[in-house]
Chains A and B, each alone.
Chain A
């Protein structure tokens, strides 16, 4: 990796950028994206703690506010303060926090902050360079803006669930795991904040950003959208592969050890048929494979043209034999072997790992993807998913585990120059320690 080795300042891309985050479960990931990229993200929680501190899973399954792994995952590299925004004094501290911030990211229901007098319109006057991103299920204004949503209902309404599932349509469409509805909205929030920042770096003013999670899902659907926009035809879900307007060949096979592999695009070139034939020969299984003769002939013939497949029986036979060969070979080998041997032979294949298996894979480990994060109060460290990018000069890094409740109240109070009396408001309960 010669090209990425150059050393520079070594500072993360957003170091020095001040961000105030006022997000619930929907927007916390946007704050994490900025924080792990180096921004100083101060997360504001109510004195009783953010609701996601009560979300499963928990460390050793003990439901306590400092043991939520949801909270841990989505709040790395942030600092945390508690503020009671329902109180005048709490809102005053929030105003002072925002006055010195470059960016605010919030996912409050539309209207709540305005009612408290601490929305963008209230605060931008004293900080015209401020960039403010509002993340909501349906946008700040317009139809549905007041309606509740979860990751599931966003993926359902936004067209993603329609495309996931099985050939058998008696089975329901599938949501897909991992909170991708929230993630997609947060990706766009971070992208838009960075656009506004680039504009500001070039001399422009700050601005308000309205992020609509329903819309974000809608434009993250590939052919689901453009097949309709261009051709007015609707894709239909299929097992483990692209939804399509007419059925396509299956792409998943179960290997000898029961683990599934995605076999990629079906072979259709003569040299690919030949490689398949040779692979079966190497395994010493030519006699057990009924289509060996067709495959051998196909290796000497022409390319299978998908456009002519329907009328050409010989092509159909070759195409089907190659597919049978993939299934046959998979049945002889454990998935890991099949995956590596297939890739080595030039086939675009992928083992279907469970999430945990990714962290144990040699490639991800060689690139340093799993990272250890210290939890000093527990005297332990844990593995976390690491960098989505490798920056040659300004490294991505989880600088600290998610903040404990009110962990940075005193520190941030000092930075804001709050009096002892004012600082007590940061705790929302008159100086009582929240630790």
Chain B
């Protein structure tokens, strides 16, 4: 186990990826994350718990592949908050926790009796981080979102696409991952503030605001120069407006649905690309300057595509990189996970041991710390897997009482 955050206990109501991804990161660094689930709903606060992909096609509430990926190294307990006994146990758990995290719709935890005011009454310096689509205030407080909706209303969907086509957007919930990153930062920033001042606080995180802060220089081109991105010819996100580069794009390669990405940042890299390509057009006068290449970018892209589509994408990428030109194959999952020397050497895909699924590979972390690196070995908890440890060892509930709680449907 990592020692980095082993001094921290998190009372965790998060789910899916936008919340669970945050506490996964913290758990991988040794924080004791206690994930609370509802015994009546059988854990269905989190739709991923029993959802595909399933390893070996074995289905069940403990067998969701995505759930396992996002909840490694956490403890799992069940607690029925409709019962007074359940609420009492949660109060005891909050009292010995540093942080409470959740990504319910705005107001849900408050309605369960555990808004910030109540949490603070239990533990004055508690850190409470909520994370939802539009935040806990404002006209859209009650609007419902998930990753693609967050991306849509924040500008990120629009700016991913080709001219004269509908938005391409993001082929996954980029903002579920990224909201989780911001949520993890919020927890750690608030912890540092508490270490300095002794103060806890509520952090009200809206995934749409985190997303809107990621639009890049295009947003200032609007606020400063009055130039909107909704205009003819835009967006064209395979090209580079900011900074201007040409060539810069994704070009066809030999074989079915194979593609090569390349970019030339300066004249030296353009000249180097010309030597790799070895065609007369690559040294033609009209392409000799960035200005010229931008003026004839469609023609340049056509010529480059005709060159690249004859070649293996890995071979041409290798040749370009050897010449100093940034280039990469558009890698598919198998290529980047099973056949990529860098991710293998990094240890990016650790195997965890899950109580019912057995050994499963999961996403690791893209950072290594010299003194207190992350550790991902334990699979996600089955429903209520750690009830005995958390209620017994942490809260001091005796065996007979624990049996009674089970019998009464409290846990």
Q: Check B331 against A354 for contact (C-beta < 8 Å).
A: no
- Judge whether B159 is part of the interface by a CB distance below 8 angstroms: yes
For chain A residues 164-209, which have a beta carbon within 8 Å of chain B? Answer: 164-166, 169, 171-180, 183-185, 187-192, 194-199, 201-202, 204-209
The docked-state distance in angstroms from the alpha carbon of A238 to that of B153 is 19
Q: Which of B151, B240, B369 gathers the greatest number of chain A CB atoms within 10 Å?
A: B369
Q: Check B25 against A191 for contact (C-beta < 8 Å).
A: yes
Q: Check B144 against A228 for contact (C-beta < 8 Å).
A: no
What are the residues of chain A within 8 A of B138 when measuring CB–CB?
Answer: 363-364, 366-367
Tell me the minimal C-beta distance from B274 to chain A in angstroms.
17
- Judge whether B390 is part of the interface by a CB distance below 8 angstroms: no
What are the residues of chain A within 8 A of B249 when measuring CB–CB?
Answer: 152, 172
Q: Check A351 against B153 for contact (C-beta < 8 Å).
A: yes
For chain A residues 383-435, which have a beta carbon within 8 Å of chain B? Answer: 383-394
Q: Give the nearest-CB partner of B266 in chain A.
A: A51
- Judge whether A268 is part of the interface by a CB distance below 8 angstroms: no
The docked-state distance in angstroms from the alpha carbon of A178 to that of B161 is 12
The docked-state distance in angstroms from the alpha carbon of A52 to that of B242 is 10
Interface size on B (CB < 8 Å)? 158
Q: Take A149-B326, A173-B330, A209-B367 as given contacts and tell me if A354 and B238 are in contact as well, using a CB distance cutoff of 8 Å.
A: no
Tell me the minimal C-beta distance from B200 to chain A in angstroms.
8
B330 touches which of A156, A176, A393 (Cβ 8 Å): A156
Q: Give the nearest-CB partner of A133 in chain B.
A: B367
Tell me the minimal C-beta distance from A384 to chain B in angstroms.
7
Q: Check B201 against A391 for contact (C-beta < 8 Å).
A: yes
Closest 4 A-B residue pairs measured CB to CB?
Answer: A163-B171, A177-B159, A215-B366, A355-B155
Q: Can you name 12 extra interface pairs (CB under 8 A) apart from A235-B333, A385-B219, A394-B190?
A: A54-B243, A69-B221, A166-B168, A175-B237, A177-B218, A177-B235, A178-B214, A190-B185, A235-B171, A252-B169, A348-B149, A389-B182
Q: Give the nearest-CB partner of B154 in chain A.
A: A358
Q: Check B214 against A222 for contact (C-beta < 8 Å).
A: no
A353 touches which of B137, B158, B206, B343 (Cβ 8 Å): B158
Listed by A's residue number, 12 A-B pairs whose Cβ atoms lie within 8 Å are: A175-B261, A198-B4, A211-B367, A229-B360, A231-B52, A231-B53, A252-B166, A354-B158, A355-B212, A356-B155, A358-B155, A366-B137
Q: Give the nearest-CB partner of A370 in chain B.
A: B223
Q: Check B220 against A215 for contact (C-beta < 8 Å).
A: no
Q: Take A3-B116, A243-B172 as given contacts and tell me if A230 and B201 are in contact as well, using a CB distance cutoff of 8 Å.
A: no
B216 touches which of A179, A206, A219, A231 (Cβ 8 Å): A179
Tell me the minimal C-beta distance from A203 to chain B in angstroms.
9
The docked-state distance in angstroms from the alpha carbon of A383 to that of B220 is 8
Q: Check A57 against B217 for contact (C-beta < 8 Å).
A: yes
Interface string of B176-199 (1 = CB under 8 A from A): 111001101110111111011101
Q: Give the nearest-CB partner of A383 in chain B.
A: B223
Tell me the minimal C-beta distance from A184 to chain B in angstroms.
7
Tell me the minimal C-beta distance from A238 to chain B in angstroms.
7
What are the residues of chain B within 8 A of A35 when measuring CB–CB?
Answer: none
For chain B residues 205-225, which have a beta carbon within 8 Å of chain A? Answer: 205-206, 208-210, 212-225
Q: Check B53 against A350 for contact (C-beta < 8 Å).
A: no
Tell me the minimal C-beta distance from B28 to chain A in angstroms.
9
The docked-state distance in angstroms from the alpha carbon of A17 to that of B214 is 24
Binds B, one of A83-91, A139-147, A277-285, A323-331: A139-147
Q: Give the nearest-CB partner of B256 in chain A.
A: A169
- Judge whether B263 is part of the interface by a CB distance below 8 angstroms: yes
Q: Check A178 against B348 for contact (C-beta < 8 Å).
A: no
Q: Check A180 against B363 for contact (C-beta < 8 Å).
A: no
Tell me the minimal C-beta distance from A175 to chain B in angstroms.
5
The docked-state distance in angstroms from the alpha carbon of A37 to that of B185 is 10
A177 touches which of B189, B200, B237 (Cβ 8 Å): B237
B192 touches which of A201, A229, A238, A361 (Cβ 8 Å): A201
The docked-state distance in angstroms from the alpha carbon of A385 to that of B68 is 35
Q: Check B140 against A392 for contact (C-beta < 8 Å).
A: no
The docked-state distance in angstroms from the alpha carbon of A252 to that of B214 is 22
- Judge whether A92 is part of the interface by a CB distance below 8 angstroms: no
- Judge whether A153 is part of the interface by a CB distance below 8 angstroms: yes
The docked-state distance in angstroms from the alpha carbon of A15 to that of B338 is 43
Tell me the minimal C-beta distance from A359 to chain B in angstroms.
7
Q: Check B167 against A142 for contact (C-beta < 8 Å).
A: no
Q: Give the nearest-CB partner of B144 in chain A.
A: A348
The docked-state distance in angstroms from the alpha carbon of A346 to that of B46 is 19
Q: Take A198-B5, A241-B148 as given contacts and tell me if A177 and B327 are in contact as well, using a CB distance cutoff of 8 Å.
A: no
Binds B, one of A4-12, A42-50, A290-298, A309-317: A4-12
The docked-state distance in angstroms from the alpha carbon of A147 to that of B261 is 15
The docked-state distance in angstroms from the alpha carbon of A202 to that of B176 is 30
What are the residues of chain B within 8 A of A241 when measuring CB–CB?
Answer: 148, 169, 171
Tell me the minimal C-beta distance from B7 to chain A in angstroms.
5
Q: Which of A171, A343, A357, A392 gathers the greatest number of chain B CB atoms within 10 Å?
A: A392
Q: Take A191-B188, A385-B219 as given contacts and tell me if A264 and B371 are in contact as well, using a CB distance cutoff of 8 Å.
A: no
Q: Which of B325, B346, B361 gathers the greatest number of chain A CB atoms within 10 Å?
A: B346
- Judge whether A116 is part of the interface by a CB distance below 8 angstroms: no
What are the residues of chain B within 8 A of A111 when measuring CB–CB?
Answer: none
Interface string of A227-239 (1 = CB under 8 A from B): 1111111110111
Q: Check A165 against B168 for contact (C-beta < 8 Å).
A: yes
Contact count A vs B, C-beta below 8 Å: 553
For chain B residues 106-151, which have a beta carbon within 8 Å of chain A? Answer: 110, 115-117, 128, 134-140, 143-146, 148-151
Q: Which of B128, B144, B146, B338 gathers the greatest number of chain A CB atoms within 10 Å?
A: B144
The docked-state distance in angstroms from the alpha carbon of A9 to that of B193 is 10
Q: Check A150 against B263 for contact (C-beta < 8 Å).
A: yes
What are the residues of chain A within 8 A of B190 when measuring CB–CB?
Answer: 13, 391, 394
A69 touches which of B181, B220, B228 (Cβ 8 Å): B220
- Judge whether A240 is part of the interface by a CB distance below 8 angstroms: yes
Q: Check B152 against A262 for contact (C-beta < 8 Å).
A: yes
What are the residues of chain A within 8 A of B20 when measuring CB–CB?
Answer: none
Tell me the minimal C-beta distance from A179 to chain B in angstroms.
5
Tell me the minimal C-beta distance from A81 to chain B in angstroms.
24
- Judge whether A125 is part of the interface by a CB distance below 8 angstroms: no
- Judge whether B165 is part of the interface by a CB distance below 8 angstroms: yes
Q: Check A220 against B177 for contact (C-beta < 8 Å).
A: yes
The docked-state distance in angstroms from the alpha carbon of A153 to that of B217 is 19
Q: Take A159-B336, A260-B167 as given contacts and tell me if A143 and B341 are in contact as well, using a CB distance cutoff of 8 Å.
A: yes
Q: Check B262 against A55 for contact (C-beta < 8 Å).
A: no
- Judge whether A1 is part of the interface by a CB distance below 8 angstroms: yes
The docked-state distance in angstroms from the alpha carbon of A56 to that of B217 is 8
Q: Take A207-B371, A388-B213 as given contacts and tell me if A356 and B222 are in contact as well, using a CB distance cutoff of 8 Å.
A: yes
Q: Check B154 against A195 for contact (C-beta < 8 Å).
A: no
Tell me the minimal C-beta distance from B4 to chain A in angstroms.
4
Q: Check B143 against A185 for contact (C-beta < 8 Å).
A: no
What are the residues of chain A within 8 A of B240 when measuring CB–CB?
Answer: 150, 152
- Judge whether A322 is part of the interface by a CB distance below 8 angstroms: no
Q: Check B366 against A389 for contact (C-beta < 8 Å).
A: no
Tell me the minimal C-beta distance from B409 to chain A in angstroms.
26
- Judge whether B381 is part of the interface by a CB distance below 8 angstroms: no
Q: Check A239 against B166 for contact (C-beta < 8 Å).
A: yes
B166 touches which of A11, A219, A240 (Cβ 8 Å): A240
- Judge whether B252 is part of the interface by a CB distance below 8 angstroms: yes
